Amino acid sequence: MPQMRLPPNINVATEVRLPDSFTHRALQVQLARFWRSHSQVRGAEHDLIAAQERYETFCHSFLQKLPAVFALLPDKQIDEHLPNLPMQRQQLHNSIYEYLCWNFRQALLPKPEEINCMPQYKRMMISHNQRALAVAALRLLQGVITLRTMMGTPHTCFSGIIVPTFEAAVPLLSLCADPTFPGVASQSWAPKATKMDLLGPHLSSVTKAECMQAARDAAKTLQTLAEVSTMADLGARTLSSLVSRVDELQDSTAQVYDTPRGEPEHWELETMRKLGTGGSQIKFPFVANGGNEAAQSWDDMLRDLTGTFGFGKLDSITSEDL
């Protein structure tokens, strides 16, 4: 990292250390370096515990070292003197949630037949990580809305709006396609929430309806931006198609998936038994072999949209990963 200190072009008395012109860029680099240094081995067996450990390390190391003006609960007393600071801070926060989505994305990978053979504690871990992924994606979409409002324009070609909107909606739709999501929140395995825990306080309250509505709103946002961006147009058409497919899947499994009763391990196993061999197809509708145009072009579309942004900052994602 280059060692530099450029004094900001303002004269204001404050106890807060003022950021220079490159502080937000340096923080983005440090953020990318953290996750690259904690990257899981590609192709390795799903390690659910490692994802939680990476998350806890991130909360207790990187987040605690953020400057006060860029913290998740920031000191805003100099915002009026640095008009770009709020947008820079929001971009950093959005990047944080993008990486958290990347960290927990492996919770989408186990197939129902694999989960059926897992011990109870692993099934609880999968449920916990899926909830964490959902909360991170929801927070990312909220952050994108905030950033777009700060920009003050309904139409933009800025990739920092378009790509995160798409990439946050995809895992939400994948989760909503799972008839067992979000399951029953377990307090027996989940780690104790701490002051720097971004996701823990919200894990027990996340709902499928909330996730589905957020994905629909994301598709509408991209439809609006499609008037000025071909990337947004592709994302809007793809998300709209996926939303329709998830709606169809939910309707087709409504009679199979009964209201859960008793302990989670009992009704989850029973649900998988009822779904039978079709469970994998239901849980992973976006990688199905069929005539659907969206499914056929899924890999190419993901390579285009995630090659240099979002999840693709660390490695490219294909339909097999989802």
Q: Please check whether residue 306 is in contact with residue 316, taking contact to mean a CB–CB distance below 8 angstroms.
A: yes
User: Torsion angle, CA of 102/29/193/199, rounded to 10 degrees?
Assistant: -40
Across the range 131-160, mean pLDDT stands at 93
Confidence of residue 15 (pLDDT cuts 50, 70, 90): low
> What's the CA gap between 169 and 236, in Å, rounded?
11
Domain definitions of the chain by residue range: 52-65+82-180+205-313
Structure token pair of residue 299? 């890999």
**Collapsing DSSP states into helix, strand and coil, what is residue 306?**
helix
> What's the CA gap between 248 and 268, in Å, rounded?
21
Put residue 276 in one of left, alpha, beta given phi > 0 → left and psi -120 to 50 → alpha.
left
Across the range 141-145, mean pLDDT stands at 96
Q: In b/e form, how buried is each residue of 241-277, taking b as 16+ CB within 10 angstroms?
A: bbbebbeebbeebeeebeeeeeebeebbbebbeebee
171-227 pLDDT, tens per residue? Answer: 999 999 888 888 766 554 455 555 678 888 888 889 999 999 999 999 999 999 999
pTM across the whole model: 0.75
> What's the CA gap between 311 and 289, in Å, rounded?
24
- Residue 42, pLDDT above cutoff 70: no
Share of the chain above pLDDT 70, in %: 66
Q: Please check whether residue 171 is in contact with residue 105, taking contact to mean a CB–CB distance below 8 angstroms.
A: yes
Q: What are the angstrom distances between the C-alpha of 70 and each of 77, 87, 197, 198? A: 12, 10, 16, 15
In one-letter notation, the amino acid at residue 70 is F
> What's the CA gap between 92 and 101, in Å, rounded?
14
In one-letter notation, the amino acid at residue 222 is L
The pLDDT score that the predictor gives to residue 122 is 81
> What's the CA gap between 218 and 170, in Å, rounded?
10
> What's the CA gap between 252 and 136, in Å, rounded?
28
Question: Any residues with CB less than 8 A from the CB of 116 and at least 6 apart, and which?
Answer: 269, 272, 273
In one-letter notation, the amino acid at residue 204 is S
Instruction: Map tokens 């950093």 to a residue.
Output: 92
260-304 pLDDT, tens per residue? Answer: 444 444 434 443 344 333 333 333 333 333 333 333 343 444 444
Across the range 50-60, mean pLDDT stands at 91
Confidence of residue 152 (pLDDT cuts 50, 70, 90): confident
